[in-house]
Amino acid sequence: MTQLAKQLFVGLCMAIVINLTACKEPLQDNDTQLVNLDQSGAQGQFSVDGRYAVLHDPGDKLAVFDVATQMRLFQLADPVPASDAAKGNIQAFSLSEDNSQIAIGFRQFVEVWDIEQGKLLGTVTVYPSDELAKVSALRLYTRPHHLLVGLNDGTVNLLDLDNQLVKKAKLHNSKVIHVAKSAQGQILLSAGHDGQVLLFDAHTLATKRGFSFDRRITSIAQSHDNSRLFASDALNEQRIFSLYSGTEYDVSLSYPERFRWFRAAAFSDDERYLATGSSKAWWTLWDAQNGQEIGAYFIKAHSRDATILDMHTNSHGELLTLSSDGFIELWQISTLVNGRQ
């Protein structure tokens, strides 16, 4: 080995050692409460209050579970008939805020189901800008009965289901991954693979404020009072900022690696902490006031590819994680914080 090669090798080893020692290794064997839903999922979602969980598996079966009892409350598992091939597979889904209904999006329409009765309430056509576009994000509300739809051509629809009114605007240049309403319902929020997070008027759909990232958004989470937002791009930009106030409040997450991948996220109820999921079987807890990492924790996993699909926090200071293996774990945030001090 030449002298130059030796120097490069030593430098590389030192960089690896520095990186490993600077990073908090995920902890294992945590004392968590564990719920097994007995179904895997490629997509998953908690209800707004964390009482229900939805899993959509690779075979296109979708089920709604009661977290406390593990009971399967609703299931959509019938294969798509050949005569209805245009329907396609499930693209997105959303539980209503009162847990009474679920919206299930296919290529260019959405079915709305009554969860308790297992009854199809209606089918809603969506309106893309590109005729080949597909549904990519949903948010269902029952008070009032509104459906927000994002499509992979960058279009957003606001559908008033009671009055059969439709508003449409092309707000993004690529796939929409997140849509939501503000607490008062006057402002709508969307985020897309074009790196844009937008606030727009619910009546006119005119953009009121925007936040730009250099790359596509991979995860996004609002605080419980909807005032703060966490967003992450596909490389190394992760920010917490104020949505509606005029003051600039911007915190960036701090870590020693060049980049991290963030898949899911949730603020604690008191907004002091932020939990983020990774592309692997572990998650990270952060101080949301300064962006410093508190600790990282492995989830229970059966498969080597297990990852967190969704996260939810409640007023008891607890975090729920929903994994692709169908496990729900309950974590006490204060215990984790004190354990790292």
The predicted pLDDT at position 248 comes to 62
Q: How would residue 92 be classed by pLDDT, with cut points 50, 70 and 90?
A: very high
Angstrom distance (rounded) from CA 339 to CA 341: 6
Angstrom distance (rounded) from CA 334 to CA 23: 21
Could you read off the pLDDT of 39-66 as tens digits, one per residue?
999 999 999 999 999 999 999 999 999 9
Whole-model pTM: value is: 0.88
Could you read off the pLDDT of 186-198 as tens digits, one per residue?
999 999 999 999 9
Overall average pLDDT of the 110-119 stretch: 97
Decide which of 3.30.1490.20, 3.40.1160.10, 3.40.50.300, 2.130.10.10 is the CATH code for 36-212: 2.130.10.10
Q: How many CA atoms lie within 13 A of 19 on its CB side?
A: 9
CB 172 within 8 A of CB 216: no
Reply yes or no on whether the pLDDT at 221 is more than 80. Answer: yes
Higher-confidence position of 83 and 116: 116
The predicted pLDDT at position 246 comes to 65
Give percent above pLDDT 70 in the chain: 87
Domain boundaries, the chain: 36-212
Angstrom distance (rounded) from CA 222 to CA 182: 10
Mean pLDDT of the chain: 88
The predicted pLDDT at position 23 comes to 47
Please name which of 283, 288, 270 lies closest in space to residue 224, comparing C-alpha atoms: 270
Reply yes or no on whether the pLDDT at 2 is more than 50. Answer: no
Q: How would residue 21 be classed by pLDDT, with cut points 50, 70 and 90?
A: very low
Please name which of 283, 129, 142 lies closest in space to residue 219, comparing C-alpha atoms: 283
